[in-house]
């Protein structure tokens, strides 16, 4: 099929690579010629490296490159059957672009947005045919991360949902369906992984090194929250936190932290700028520290972060944001959690999760530590 990608930044270029790998004709449109040239040469370089490592044949590399056309001319999209928009995260600009492409593409073309945080419904509302608008949310890096969230707008036709799901699955991705609510599944449920870790650090309970160590060693997470935030970039991660918080009408459960805000203000974005929570040497390697942490103290940190994550997963289920199966898939495939949070809750015992959250609430008396009605009643997920 012919797939149009609008925006050739981090996400657009990655999605183009995926679509081209699966033999689609891909047209990448961006208003910035320099960005187009850069994205094109970066992709050539990436594919060249994959070939050198023996992960891609020369024939396949050429095929991918030949399948992609890079252009600033929106009219080249006229024969596209699916458009995936991945431009700047700004509702006014996205709405304008959607209205503009609607006048170019055929009636049958499906219009998708890769937005992380905007309402799909509000983007659909800018279109004459809102029933064909849908959220198709890839994770960074799109070529590697297996998960894609499919988010119908209020107006989306159910046939479009089924169609989008089958197209994305034919690109070897795992799809989950999410309700059009702030953060969809992953960016909503994952918030406490960062925010509770920061809170523990801000209170002086443990150092960032100790918190990262605890979650890796005793939680089984591949990366600690501070390492991960440094890798994602605080500009990106803080913006998601702030957007989710604002979108939930300033629910104090999601209040962003001053620690991370200051990092953004200082332009200490993390690994990419050489400094974030950690400092990076010229080889861009994180400065490792020796550790000799008390196991009980580490396990208390893990229980606290995990209980907050389990609340989010339980509440997403309670509010019908997604099915139980999709909530588990989203967190294991979208952010590589070692296991699904609901299964994890069963293993720990729901009464133990409740106890951790009850103790936190008792201690702080903050709304932040309230928990889902589902956690209060359920014995096993």
Please say whether the beta carbons of 60 and 17 come within 8 A.
no
Nearer to ligand NAI, 6 or 316 (CB): 6
What are φ and ψ of residue 149, in 5° steps? -90, 135
Which residues are near ligand NAI by CB under 6 A? 6-12, 30-32, 35, 86-89, 93, 97, 114-116, 138-140, 236
Q: Dig out the tokens for 30 from the structure.
A: 């961006």
Q: Which residue is nearest to ligand NAI (CB)?
A: 9
| Least spacing, CB of residue 283 vs ligand NAI, in Å | 24
Q: Note every long-range contact of 165-171, with CB atoms under 8 Å and residues 24 or more positions apart, other chains counting.
A: 167/1, 167/82, 168/136, 170/22, 171/18, 171/19, 171/21, 171/22
116 is catalytic: yes
Nearer to ligand NAI, 140 or 247 (CB): 140
Residue from 213, 263, 258, 209 nearest 236 by CA = 263
Q: Is 102 helix (H, G, I), strand (E, B) or coil?
A: helix
Is residue 159 exposed (0-12), middle (13-18) or buried (19+ Cβ within 10 Å)? exposed
What are φ and ψ of residue 15, in 5° steps? -65, -40
Please say whether the beta carbons of 269 and 233 come within 8 A.
yes
The β-bridge relationship of strands 133-138 and 110-113 is parallel
75 is catalytic: no
| Least spacing, CB of residue 200 vs ligand NAI, in Å | 25
Q: Which of 67, 119, 187, 237 is catalytic?
A: 187
Q: Dig out the tokens for 353 from the structure.
A: 């999760």
Q: Is 46 helix (H, G, I), strand (E, B) or coil?
A: helix
Nearer to ligand NAI, 30 or 328 (CB): 30
| Least spacing, CB of residue 77 vs ligand NAI, in Å | 11
Angle at CA 296, nearest 5°, toward 295 and 298?
A: 65
| Least spacing, CB of residue 288 vs ligand NAI, in Å | 26
Nearer to ligand NAI, 32 or 323 (CB): 32
How far apart are the C-alpha atoms of 284 and 289, rounded to whole Å? 15
Please say whether the beta carbons of 197 and 215 come within 8 A.
yes
Nearer to ligand NAI, 148 or 350 (CB): 148
Nearer to ligand NAI, 87 or 198 (CB): 87
| Least spacing, CB of residue 333 vs ligand NAI, in Å | 14
Nearer to ligand NAI, 6 or 331 (CB): 6
How far apart are the C-alpha atoms of 196 and 199, rounded to whole Å? 5
How far apart are the C-alpha atoms of 79 and 4, rounded to whole Å? 9
| Least spacing, CB of residue 35 vs ligand NAI, in Å | 4
| Least spacing, CB of residue 17 vs ligand NAI, in Å | 13
Q: Which of 102, 119, 137, 311 is catalytic?
A: 137
311 is catalytic: no
Strands in 82-85's sheet, in edge-to-edge order, are 68-71, 25-29, 2-6, 82-85, 110-113, 133-138, 147-152, 174-177
Nearer to ligand NAI, 9 or 274 (CB): 9
89 is catalytic: no
Q: Which of 149, 227, 312, 328 is catalytic?
A: 149
How far apart are the C-alpha atoms of 290 and 331, rounded to whole Å? 30
| Least spacing, CB of residue 89 vs ligand NAI, in Å | 4
Name the residues annotated as catalytic.
116, 137, 149, 187
């Amino acid at each position: 099929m012919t797939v149009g990608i609008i925006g050739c930044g981090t996400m657009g270029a990655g999605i183009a690579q995926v679509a081209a790998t699966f033999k689609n004709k891909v047209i990448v449109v961006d208003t910035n010629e320099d960005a187009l040239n850069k994205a094109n040469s970066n992709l050539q370089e990436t594919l060249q490296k994959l070939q050198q490592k023996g992960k891609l044949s020369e024939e396949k590399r050429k095929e991918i490159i030949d399948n992609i056309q890079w252009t600033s001319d929106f009219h080249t999209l006229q024969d596209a059957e699916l458009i995936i928009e991945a431009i700047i995260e700004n509702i006014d600009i996205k709405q304008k672009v959607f209205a503009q492409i609607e006048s170019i593409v055929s009636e049958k073309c499906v219009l998708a947005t890769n937005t992380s945080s905007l309402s799909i419904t509000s983007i659909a509302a800018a279109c004459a045919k809102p029933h064909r608008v849908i959220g198709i949310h890839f994770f960074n890096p799109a070529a590697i991360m297996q998960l894609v969230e499919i988010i119908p707008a209020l107006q989306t036709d159910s046939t479009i949902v089924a169609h989008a799901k089958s197209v994305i699955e034919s690109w070897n991705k795992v799809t989950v369906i999410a309700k059009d609510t702030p953060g969809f599944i992953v960016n909503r449920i994952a918030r406490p992984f960062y925010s509770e870790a920061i809170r523990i650090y801000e209170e002086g309970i443990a150092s960032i090194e100790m918190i990262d160590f605890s979650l890796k060693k005793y939680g089984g997470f591949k990366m600690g929250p501070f390492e991960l935030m440094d890798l994602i970039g605080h500009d990106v991660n803080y913006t998601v936190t702030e957007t989710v918080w604002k979108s939930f009408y300033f629910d104090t459960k999601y209040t962003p932290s001053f620690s991370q805000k200051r990092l953004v203000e200082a332009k200490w974005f993390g690994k990419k700028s050489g400094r974030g929570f950690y400092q990076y040497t010229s080889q861009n390697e994180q400065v490792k520290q020796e550790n000799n942490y008390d196991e009980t103290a580490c396990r208390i940190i893990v229980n606290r972060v995990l209980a907050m994550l389990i609340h989010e997963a339980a509440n997403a289920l309670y509010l019908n944001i997604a099915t139980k199966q999709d909530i588990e898939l989203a967190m294991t495939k979208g952010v590589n959690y070692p296991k699904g949070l609901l299964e994890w809750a069963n293993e720990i015992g729901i009464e133990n999760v409740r106890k951790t959250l009850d103790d936190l609430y008792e201690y702080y008396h903050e709304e932040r530590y309230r928990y889902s009605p589902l956690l209060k009643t359920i014995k096993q997920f």
